[in-house]
A and B are shown apart, each in its own frame.
Chain A
Amino acid sequence: GAGVSQSPSNKVTEKGKDVELRCDPISGHTALYWYRQSLGQGLEFLIYFQGNSAPDKSGLPSDRFSAERTGGSVSTLTIQRTQQEDSAVYLCASSFDLYQPQHFGDGTRLSIL
Chain B
Amino acid sequence: SQKIEQNSEALNIQEGKTATLTCNYTNYSPAYLQWYRQDPGRGPVFLLLIRENEKEKRKERLKVTFDTTLKQSLFHITASQPADSATYLCALVESNYQLIWGAGTKLIIKP
Contacts and interface: CB of A to CB of B under 8 A. Distances in A.
Given A101-B34, A101-B49, A45 B99 contact: yes
Interface of B: 4, 34, 41-46, 49, 89, 91, 96-104
A104 B101 contact: no
12 contacts: A35-B101, A42-B89, A42-B103, A43-B89, A45-B98, A45-B99, A56-B96, A59-B98, A93-B43, A98-B97, A101-B34, A106-B42
A42 B98 contact: no
A33 B100 CA distance: 13
Nearest to B100: A45
Contact of B98 (A48, A91, A103): A48
Contact of B45 (A42, A48, A99, A104): A104
Interface in A83-113: 91, 93, 98-99, 101-107
A35 B36 CA distance: 15
Nearest to A93: B43
Nearest to A92: B43
Interface centre among B43, B49, B91, B99 (most CB of A within 10 A): B43
